[in-house]
Structure 1
Amino acid sequence: MGNIFGRKRRPTRVTEQDRAILQLKQQRDKLKQYQKKITLQLEKERLLAKQLLKDGKKEKALLLLKKKRYQDQLLDKTENQISNLERMVQDIEFAQIEMKVIEGLKVGNECLKKMHEVMSIEEVERIMDETQDAIEYQRQIDDMLAGSLTQEDEDAVLAELEAITQGEEVELPEVPTESLPEVPEEEPEPEPEPERERAKKQPEREMLAA
């Protein structure tokens, strides 16, 4: 908390143009106050001259109206001065805007110059040529693939694409299965034993019989 409230604010940069604008506005405000004061005073003098005429004091009323006429001329001059001050303020403010625009253009030009230094015209042409070569190479591959497929293959590819687009599974072709030999229902008869095996088992059988 202490760091937040104790942080120093950066001083604002006040230019000579800002000071000039401030002074002009102060002079304008003073003239407007003077203009308002004189206007109220002239209204009072006009009412006073009217009362003097009612009282038969024509000479005093005439003198007061002459004074009022002179102050009216001062008001006109004051109005012109106020208009001149406001015009000067507007001109200075517009000049400041123009300076900011020029500074922005200057920064933009410097950025463009640096970008042009990094990428020259030759570099752009080289990249464009490489891009064109890549496009031509891909076109050749497409032509080769297109020539190696038959009409039936083309139709199959289109059908698969349509199925994928519609979210359906592509039906795979049936794999032919070879017919297996049938299993015999009756148990096969045992094959006859060879003579040597029968001669070997004959003594064993006689011994068992004894």
Structure 2
Amino acid sequence: MGIIFGKSKKLESRVTEQDKAVLQLKQTRDKIKQHQKKIEQNLEKDRELAKKLLTSGKKDRAKLLLRKKRFQEQLLAKTDNQLENLERLVHDLEFSQVEMQVLDGLKTGNEALKKVQEVLNIDAVEKILDETREAVEKQKVCA
């Protein structure tokens, strides 16, 4: 019955903006890795084709393929740098999330400590100790 007539409570998403950013960066990283594989496959095909062209005497076409190969190798180096930057950024984001959790823990602990200190101020502790001493002395007198 509560389902039909009760108020619907909105559940807060546990996914933070940092989580979304990390996910997006990881997806981008995966796309770059796929792109690198594609470039490497093209490099291998072009090497084989250049060898065939050289054996068949078509040096001009083979030179063109070698220039293309050089360009693709430069592109591969650039994608390696981008991949490294993405990995570093993902690591930094994940580490900053851990730091935030540590700070939240410290904040919570500090607040709890302040509450305990408010309850256990020095005057209250001394009063309790005095009362305990008096009770012990009365017990000794009675015994």
Normalising TM by the smaller chain, what interval? Answer: 0.7 to 0.9
Residues 10-21 of structure 1 mapped to structure 2, 5 A cutoff: 10-21=11-22
* Residue 132 to residue 54, structure 1, CA distance change in 2 (3 Å): farther
Residues 38-187 of structure 1 mapped to structure 2, 5 A cutoff: 38-128=39-129
1:128 Cα deviation from its structure 2 partner = 4.3
For residue 24 of structure 1, what is the aligned residue in structure 2? 25
Kindly name which structure, 1 or 2, has the bigger radius of gyration based on alpha carbons. 1
Find the aligned partners of 1:64 and 1:40 in 2 and give their Cα distance: 14
> Structure 1, residues 122-143: CA drift from partner, whole Å, max 9, x if none?
22234445556777x5xx89xx
Amino acid at match of 2:94: E
TM (norm. structure 2) is 0.81
TM (norm. structure 1) is 0.56
1:13 Cα deviation from its structure 2 partner = 2.4
For residue 6 of structure 2, what is the aligned residue in structure 1? none
Provide the secondary structure at the position in 2 that maps to 1:92. Answer: helix
For residue 147 of structure 1, what is the aligned residue in structure 2? none
1:104 Cα deviation from its structure 2 partner = 1.2
Find the aligned partners of 2:135 and 2:75 in 1 and give their Cα distance: 83
1:12 Cα deviation from its structure 2 partner = 2.8
RMSD: 2.4
Find the aligned partners of 2:72 and 2:123 in 1 and give their Cα distance: 77
Amino acid at match of 2:114: K
Find the aligned partners of 1:125 and 1:19 in 2 and give their Cα distance: 54
For residue 187 of structure 1, what is the aligned residue in structure 2? none
Find the aligned partners of 1:60 and 1:80 in 2 and give their Cα distance: 30
Would you tell me which structure has more helix in proportion to its own residues?
2
Find the aligned partners of 1:133 and 1:50 in 2 and give their Cα distance: 103
User: What is the percent sequence identity of the aligned residues?
Assistant: 61
Provide the secondary structure at the position in 2 that maps to 1:52. Answer: helix
1:53 Cα deviation from its structure 2 partner = 1.1
> Structure 1, residues 139-173: CA drift from partner, whole Å, max 9, x if none?
x89xxxxxxxxxxxxxxxxxxxxxxxxxxxxxxxx
1:73 Cα deviation from its structure 2 partner = 0.5
